[in-house]
Amino acid sequence: METALLSTTPLWVNILLGIIVINLLVWPLTSRWVESHLELFLLGVGAAAVTVSNGWSVDFIYQTLRYPVNVAFIVLVVSLIFNNYSRYIFRVLFAFFKQLEPRYSFAILIFLLGMSSSFVSVTVSALVLAEVLKVVNLEHDATVRITVFACYAIGLGAVLTPLAEPMGLVIQSALAQPPYRADFFFLLRNFFWWIAPAVVLLAVAAGYAARNAGSTLQMHIREDKETYASMMRRTWHIYMFVAALNLISTGLRPLAQSTITHLGGKVLFLANAVSVIIDNATLAAIEIVPTISHQDLIYMVIGLVAFGSMLVQGNLPNIVAAEKLGIKSREWARIAVPTGLVLMLGYFLMLTILL
């Protein structure tokens, strides 16, 4: 069935989709207009990809309109909670941050956000991070670095259960039958010791980025509340981002099926760098079959989670945090791309040695 699907994808479709991928990677990093209107650009690119791959249908349009609703709703609700009860919430945080130097308090916070993201959802974890960073007096460069490291940690930790994001659910569902018989704790059992050390290292990196904040971190409670119009505007932007990701993932699916479906573990690990532009749940749905070997499964999953945060549009927590904190695409990539390459090299060496 898979072979038949591959053979029906014309060469010209893959060529056009390849051109779309190049534009998707280049323009957000080279055009200030695209950088400032990223969600509109991604919607346009996603619509073009779906058109080329002939993916439009009434059901798909309905799915695209419905898909972002839950995420947007969470963003709005958490924003309202923080906006109306920030004084009480941050009193608890103040008490925590005053006990430790900034490098230690941020390291602990990022570790906790990363390891708990698989239970509380990546959206909530990213919003908590952004709210904390908005009330601390850090230089903008330090804020960007901490945000990038934290989003990598959140993205890594989220794969440990089927709750936090669709990829975990896709993996569990695909492997529920023999020989794996994957249950709720399957991902936690198989990937905890691969994920936890990286989350610790990213937490340490975040703490190091906050090292110049002084011996005590200066925090303030915002007296001025955010307007409802501003919160609705941000919620609308997140809605458009998530809708665009659905368009892009669906539109580029034929290209992914044609190029990475039958790759072996090590090559698949490297090929999953495309998760910076294609939703990792989509790639997991394409790549995972019940007959996949345990070794290839580990290569595949680690490749998906290690690459996802290299660009703003690569992962949901990136989008939420960058939108909340006003981080531009180039600022993000300047820190996130080298971080992703280091993660890639470290993981590749460890997987090669230990598997």
Average pLDDT over every residue of 92-118: 85
Question: What digits encode the pLDDT tens for the residues 123-175?
Answer: 889 998 998 888 787 889 999 999 999 999 999 999 999 887 778 888 988 89
Indicate if the pLDDT at residue 255 is higher than 60: yes
- Tell me the pLDDT band of 224, cut-offs 50, 70 and 90: low
* Better-predicted residue by pLDDT, 216 or 157: 157
Which SS3 state, helix, strand or coil, does residue 180 take?
A: coil
- The pLDDT tens digits of the residues spanning 49-82 come to 999 999 999 999 999 999 889 888 988 988 888 8
Question: Domain range holding 153?
Answer: 2-354
The pLDDT score that the predictor gives to residue 75 is 87
Q: How far apart, in whole angstroms, are the C-alpha atoms of residue 76 and residue 311? A: 24
- Which of 103, 86, 112 has the alpha carbon at shortest distance from 217? 103
Residues 301-317 have pLDDT tens digits of 999 888 888 999 888 89
Q: In the chain, which ranges are continuous DSSP H helix?
A: 2-7, 11-30, 32-36, 38-52, 58-66, 69-98, 102-120, 122-134, 140-157, 166-174, 186-209, 228-259, 265-271, 280-287, 294-307, 316-325, 329-354
Please state the separation of Cα 58 from the chain's center in Å: 28
**The pLDDT value given to residue 17:** 92
Count: domains in the chain: 1
